[in-house]
């Protein structure tokens, strides 16, 4: 989407982002503040990061709300007068959530339902969930909770009061290079000791820059009608190749696949392929519900019937040189 379209779409809008002090949230805030929106609310429970953002950003349109998505009453207050909500708050560290499963359920599922209820009660026009490739055929609790969150968002469209009331959609993407707790952050610390760890030599993942994730969100906000899952055209490669590109001088120690990890990730299920439209720069998985009207997407083709969107697919694999050419590593 062009900058002019973003400016026109967000003009005089009040936007709120849950988890606004996270890696995605902070980059989204910086991007959104370059538009002519009316007000931008950062909602998170991290008071330290909020104070750091306040010190860094002097824009008078920004507001900071301390709160937890587990607290419906706080969300109700925060959503008053809001036009657009991006729901990015989540617990997402796979090993920690395997050990603390109920905490993941409370935040990622119950917290998501709270966001939906607060949005419906405040007539928020557009609500967008930030999901993950781990929600596709999940094998860990994090992925399972995000799958539930996606399903809750799709189903929430059935509770709309009227045609122009709240609509709910999702974006789904893979690993963000350089985000907090990402592989690059871990490698940066390990490189100081001259040795890095690898789970398996054949493991693959999808890789996105943070700016690509924010661009997908902006496109979704612009195009959404309620119920869709927006999926980027994301490159992928072996984790080992990324490690040897970033830390070629280091010894690699193979430690084995951790609990809850997949060898390869997927961005679509087999059941989603037959209702997925190709919009050139991204895909839209249309909801499988009677209330969905997809006439506005008629001019876009469906993906091929044999389409498979997995991180070890030959069509999407990157070489080390490709990685450098695409500037996925800065």
Q: Is 193 a catalytic residue?
A: no
User: Do 176 and 209 contact (CB within 8 A), yes or no?
Assistant: yes
In Å, how far are 124, 187, 226, 271, 278 from 299, measured between CA atoms? 29, 44, 19, 22, 10
Catalytic residue among 13, 92, 134, 238: 134
| CA 95 from centroid of its chain's CA atoms | 19
**Spatial CA neighbour of 152 closest among 119, 125, 116:** 116
The phi-psi region of residue 226 (left if phi > 0; otherwise alpha if psi is between -120 and 50; otherwise beta) is left
- Tell me the residue ranges of DSSP E strands in the chain: 14-18, 39-44, 62-66, 84-87, 126-132, 167-173, 175-176, 195-198, 204-208, 229-232, 236-238, 251-254, 276-278, 282-285
User: Do 316 and 283 contact (CB within 8 A), yes or no?
Assistant: no
Distance in angstroms (rounded) separating the CA atoms of residues 275 and 240: 34
* Residues identified as active-site: 134
């Amino acid at each position: 989407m062009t900058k002019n379209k973003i400016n026109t779409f967000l003009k005089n809008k009040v936007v709120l982002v849950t988890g606004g002090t996270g890696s995605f949230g902070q980059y989204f805030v910086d991007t959104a503040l370059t538009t002519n929106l009316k007000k931008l609310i950062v909602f998170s429970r991290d008071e330290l990061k909020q104070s750091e953002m306040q010190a860094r950003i002097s824009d008078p349109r920004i507001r900071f709300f301390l709160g937890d998505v587990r607290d419906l009453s706080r969300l109700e207050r925060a959503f008053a007068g809001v036009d657009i909500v991006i729901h990015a708050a989540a617990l997402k560290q796979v090993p920690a959530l395997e050990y603390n499963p109920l905490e993941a359920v409370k935040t990622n599922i119950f917290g998501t339902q709270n966001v939906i209820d607060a949005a419906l009660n405040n007539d928020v026009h557009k609500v967008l969930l930030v999901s993950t490739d781990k929600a596709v055929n999940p094998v860990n609790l994090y992925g399972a909770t995000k799958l539930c969150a996606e399903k809750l968002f799709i189903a929430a469209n059935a509770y709309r009061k009227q045609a122009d009331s709240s609509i709910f959609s999702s974006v789904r993407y893979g690993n963000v290079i350089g985000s907090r707790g990402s592989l690059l952050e871990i490698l940066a610390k390990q490189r100081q000791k001259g040795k890095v760890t690898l789970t398996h030599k054949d493991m693959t993942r999808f890789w996105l820059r943070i700016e690509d994730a924010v661009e997908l969100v902006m496109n979704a906000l612009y195009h959404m009608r309620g119920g869709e899952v927006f999926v980027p055209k994301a490159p992928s490669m072996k984790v080992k190749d990324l490690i040897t590109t970033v830390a070629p001088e280091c010894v690699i120690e193979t430690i084995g696949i951790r609990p809850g990890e997949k060898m390869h990730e997927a961005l679509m299920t087999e059941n989603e392929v037959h209702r997925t439209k190709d919009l050139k720069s991204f895909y839209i998985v249309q909801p499988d519900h009677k209330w969905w009207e997809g006439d506005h997407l008629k001019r876009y083709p469906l993906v091929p019937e044999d389409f498979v969107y997995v991180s070890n697919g030959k069509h999407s694999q990157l070489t080390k040189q490709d990685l450098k050419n695409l500037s996925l590593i800065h």
